[in-house]
Each structure stands twice: as structure tokens, then as C-alpha cells.
Amino acid sequence: MSHAFDPWSPEFVAAPYPTYARLREESPVLWFEPSRQYLISRHEDVNALLRDRRLGRSYLHVATHEEMGRSAPPDYQEPFWTLNDNGMLDREPPDHTRLRRLVSQAFTPRRVEALRPVVQRLADELVDAFVAEGGGDLIANVAEPLPVTVIAELLGIPEADRHALRPWSAAICGMYELNPSRETAEAAVRASEEFSEYLRALARRRKDDPRDDLVSALAAVEGLSEDELIGTCVLLLNAGHEATVNVTGNGWRALLLHPEQHLALQEKPELIGTAVEELMRFDTPLQMFERWVLEDIEVRGVTIPRGSEVALLFGSANHDPAAFADPERFDVTRRDNPHISFGAGIHYCLGAPLARIELAASFGALLAKAPGLRLSSEPVYKPGYVIRGLKSLDVSVA
Ligand code: HEM
């Protein structure tokens, strides 16, 4: 097996962790010409750079494209970038601070906590139907519908419109892979136009006729422009389900390939808390996040000049023996688990409490109601690198 970092190769996607081990040991800061980025693979460095204000998810608050030695994205991509740049994730302070505060006014811990019984009921219903069928594809039948329905309910997307959410989201997320193709970009642009138009109309309806949902609450927030409101809704809808689907799939794959861990969790359901954190660590759903370098920095003796891009390898950080005892061991009882799957610093995942509720509910329901869950075919990963998830996960419940 090749141990070169080649995120486009099927071998790497099937098993990235041995390559990360070599990177961490031999070249923890490595210039990678194909994506023109510095790869950062150690936990300590990834964690520190996420918190370092000399880096940003955007540079447009301090410099133009030209000043950073970059070219502006082509005009035809404008609808995608407008949508992307109006969500808080790709903003930096002071705008990020303002947006995150305004969105937090509507997306409150109380609103999230109130969802707990709703999420549990939904997980139970989905799992009951799945068990009655004798199993099938766990991704399509449980992993996807749970977070998609929860986030759609939370925002107040009418049921009849929800079928469009996954295709829009998938098309937009194509842009977050390394070096997206023209075809991928065009599909993302089309989806951005349709999604924005849809949400603009919905937000206007809710502004005039508010309901008890997040779109109405956001429409009522003072100081949020209409484009920011739309960018926020799309961010919540996309971030609010993509990774959760993949933690569910990757997590069940790990459990089914480690029957002793599956059994341990079945015998002690109270381990669900540590188990969810371990599932998020062991097969990291978002393998990499990027940052722009806004001032020259030095990492492990390597000077990284302003205008560079760093790729923070979360999947590698989560398997670093300097941060985790015996990191290649999958252990649902692991207590000391400083995984980085929700990020760190100012962009730390706003949805982490909701994601944890969803994961505990769906894993709990399947453990209780489908004790004999077994793989019926070898699970295959989707081809992307950044977003790590399975195409399908075929299981039987007998
Ligand atoms: C297991 C599931 C999830 C994972 C692994 C995950 C992971 C992440 C990570 C790593 C970031 C930071 C990215 C960066 O620093 O560059 C982030 C940000 C964010 N996530 Fe999540 N997320 C999950 C679920 C959710 C859910 C359910 C929601 C919403 C309901 C959500 C909403 C957000 C938002 C709004 C941000 C941007 C925060 C900011 O820029 O300040 N996420 N997420």
C-alpha cells in the first residue's frame, strides 16, 4: 500500500490513517504542490492554528485578492460565493462576532434542548421502521433522514419542500473538496441560486407571518441583512446534517467491525456519551479544514508566508499518539479524548450540542432495537476526501 498523501486516490480514501502517521512523524509541516497548501498533521499544531488569529477562514476583511497574490473567483461563480460569504463560517471578526451573536440569539440552548424529545421520537420511529423491514441501507433509512428532518423542523422548512435540501446541499458541498472541477462548480452555482431564491421567498413569508421556527426568529433579529439571513439558513441546513450523516455511517461501520466494542456498548448503554465522542474521533467525518495565513507565521521551524493556505488535517490530529493513548484502538470507553472534530477557536461548531443529541438518539435507538445488527456487504466510502462518508451501509437486523 502506498503511503503518499494523495487525497484523490481511492486507496488513500479507503485508509487515510497510515499515511497520516507517516506525515506526522516525518514531515509535520509539508508543502503540497497539487493543492498549493501547507499540510499540518500534528494535533498540537492543528489545535494551535485553529485558535491563532494570524490565520483566518477568509482574508477579505484585511486584504484584496490581489494583495494576497490570489485571483478573484470567476464571475460565473458569484451566486455560490455570495451565499458562502454571507454565512458566519467564512467571515472573520468583527463581522463574525456580530453574526455569531445574532444567530445565537435565535439558535438558543433552550431551543436545542427543547428538541431532545422530538429527536428521540423521530429516531425511534425511523429505527422501528428499519427493523420491521429487516434492515437495508442504514444511511438512506436512518442516518440521513434524522438530521435532515431535525434541521428542517428547526428552521421551519415545509415538509413538501424538504426533498430538495439534500441535493442542494450535496451540490454546494462539492465546492469544499480540494480543487473542484468546472462541472462541480457549475452545479454548486445552480444549487446556490435555487436555494437562495427559495429561502428568500420563505423568509419574506415568515417575516410577514411568523411561526415558532428559526427562520421566523432569524427574520425578526435586528441587524441581520437579508443576504446574511439566507447565508445563515443555508449554513445551518448544510452544516446541520452533512457531518451528522457521516458520523452515523462511519460510526456504525467502526462498531460493526469491532464486535467487542459493539457488545460493550450494548451491555452498558450508559457508555453512549464516551462512545459518541470516540465515533467522532476514530473515523473523522470532516478530514480537513483550511485557513489563510494573514501574517507570516512559523510552525516547527518552517516559515509560512502571508498569503499562503494551510490545510489542517483533522483526521490526522485525531490519531496523533501525542494526544491520544493508543490512537488506532477504537475504544468506546475512552475518557481522555480531546478530539478536534468540532473544531476549536472562534469557529467552534455552533451545532455541537444538537449533533450530540442526534447521535446519542440514533445510536441508542439502534443499539436497543436492533441488537443483532450485522454488515451484509462491505461498506464503500464516497470518493471525496474532505467530507468522509459512506455511499451506503447495508446491514441486516436479524
Ligand atoms: C457531527 C456533526 C458535526 C460536525 C463534525 C461539525 C463540525 C464542525 C466544524 C469542524 C466546524 C468549524 C469549521 C472551521 O473551524 O473551519 C463547524 C462549524 C459550524 N457548525 Fe458544525 N458540525 C456538526 C454538526 C453541526 C450541526 C448539527 C449544526 C447546526 C445545527 C452545525 C452548525 C455549524 C455552524 C453554524 C458552524 C460555523 C460556526 C462559526 O463559524 O462560528 N454543525 N462544525
Task: Give the pLDDT confidence score for residue 384 in this predicted structure.
Answer: 87
* Domain 10-396 class in CATH: mainly alpha
Parse the chain into domains and list their residue ranges. Answer: 10-396
242 CA to middle of ligand 1, Å? 10
Average pLDDT of adjacent 10-residue blocks, the chain of 398 residues: 80 94 97 96 98 96 92 94 94 95 91 94 98 97 96 95 93 89 96 96 96 93 93 93 96 98 97 98 97 97 97 98 98 98 98 97 97 95 93 94
Q: Select from 349, 356, 363, 386 the residue to mutate for testing ligand 1; criterion: most ligand atoms less than 8 Å from CB.
A: 349
Measured in degrees and rounded to the nearest 5, phi and psi for residue 262 equal: -60, -45
Distance of CA 179 to the CA centre of its chain: 18
pLDDT at 2: 52
Other CB atoms within a 10 A radius of the CB of residue 128 amount to 13
Query: How many other C-beta atoms can be found within 10 angstroms of the C-beta atom of residue 286?
Result: 23
| Ligand 1 centroid, distance to 239 Cα (angstroms) | 6
Q: How far does residue 357's CA lie from ligand 1's centre (Å)? A: 14
Measured by CA distance, the residue closest to atom 16 of ligand 1 is 289
**C-alpha 37 – ligand 1 centre gap (Å):** 23
- Cα(397) to ligand 1 centroid in Å equals 32
Share of the chain above pLDDT 90, in %: 93
Ligand 1, atom 43: closest residue by C-alpha? 349
